[in-house]
A and B are shown apart, each in its own frame.
Chain A
Amino acid sequence: MHEVTVALSLLEGVETFARAQGIERVTRVNVRIGALSGIVRDALLFSWDVASAETLAAGSELSVEEIALTVYCERCESERAPVPGSGLLCPACGLPAPRIVSGREMHLVSLEVPE
């Protein structure tokens, strides 16, 4: 729902990094987006094309790695992936496991640039 803003802050991150590194062109941007972030992949891809036009990342491919929700279950002492729609319940023992391990990511991971 806030894909345009996320695309713009992503672009800001890319431009800041590229300038500091003397990078003139970016061909691919790799990001990691968590399942809880409320970001719709297709909307983000569309927003990225619009946001990155006429920048050093114009025409670049946005590669989105979607990260599933996982929680830490204290009873099982392990990381678990709750059944979607069950909240934060451990799928093994059924107890609430409110410690979120992954699923909140909004990370700019890496850039692909011409040599």
Chain B
Amino acid sequence: MKLRVIEVAANLMVKNDALAAKLRERFAQSGTLVVNMLSSPGSGKTTLVEKTLTHLARAYSVAALVGDQATANDAERLARSGAPVRQITTGSECRLDASMIGKALTGWQPERLDVLFIENVGNLICPAEYDLGEDLRVVLLAVTEGEDKPLKYPLAFNTAHLALITKIDIADAVGYDRAGALRSIEAVHPGMPHLDISARTGAGMDAWFAHLEQRIKAKSLVGAR
């Protein structure tokens, strides 16, 4: 059998990127700030999002999508904030993609939202590859994790806009090496802003809320134009 080779040159991410661009356009028109939260499992993401939704809901229209491989526990916890929450059960998928976001928004009126939080599946590898149409990609690093996490998962930290050092209230107890963690972040994303926070004690949360409110206002002005 004679064989020949035919060039295709197709990027497999094109479909996701195109869907993400559509989402981004839709949220630009509505002036909705979209925040994609990335982290390892157990970094305190759900607690942080719950507290953040509760705080922002006082002044803004907020909602959340939460990706989870199996259970609805995280969605139930987030719903305690009073904000509308939708669960995306990903099954074997280790990340959310733009088509999942599009489907989860069906029948909703996200156009009325000031902020949409997307709590990604706990994983620092796969979610980093998938654009969800977000404005703000936030990566979490708990003080209980290794300070070298950014070096192990460079793409997640390289593509994020903001790093949150979480569980800062127990930093001393677990021997957190602050200088080492910041050095790791600088090695993959020099100059990326970072905040030390504790969702449990509230430490640093005001700075996080202020950062978000600044972004919400900037985005809503763009949408109103």
Contacts and interface: CB of A to CB of B under 8 A. Distances in A.
Given A86-B187, A96-B188, A96-B190, 11 more contacts: A1-B123, A4-B92, A28-B3, A30-B5, A85-B152, A88-B158, A88-B188, A108-B11, A110-B7, A112-B3, A115-B3
A106 B129 CA distance: 10
Interface string B145-180: 000101110110010000000000000000000000
Interface string A1-35: 11011100110011001000101000110100000
The secondary structure that dominates the A interface is mixed
Contact of A110 (B5, B15, B151, B184): B5
A59 B43 CA distance: 43
Contact of B13 (A4, A106, A113): A106
Nearest to B152: A85
Contacts of A37: 129
B224 interface: no
B154 A106 contact: no
Interface of A: 1-2, 4-6, 9-10, 13-14, 17, 21, 23, 27-28, 30, 36-38, 69, 85-89, 96, 98, 100, 104, 106-115
A85 B148 CA distance: 9
A1 B11 contact: no
B12 A9 contact: yes
B80 to A, nearest CB: 30
A27 B3 contact: yes
Given A10-B12, A87-B150, A98 B3 contact: no
B122 to A, nearest CB: 12
Interface in B1-15: 1-13, 15
B111 to A, nearest CB: 29
Contacts of B8: 13-14, 17, 108-111
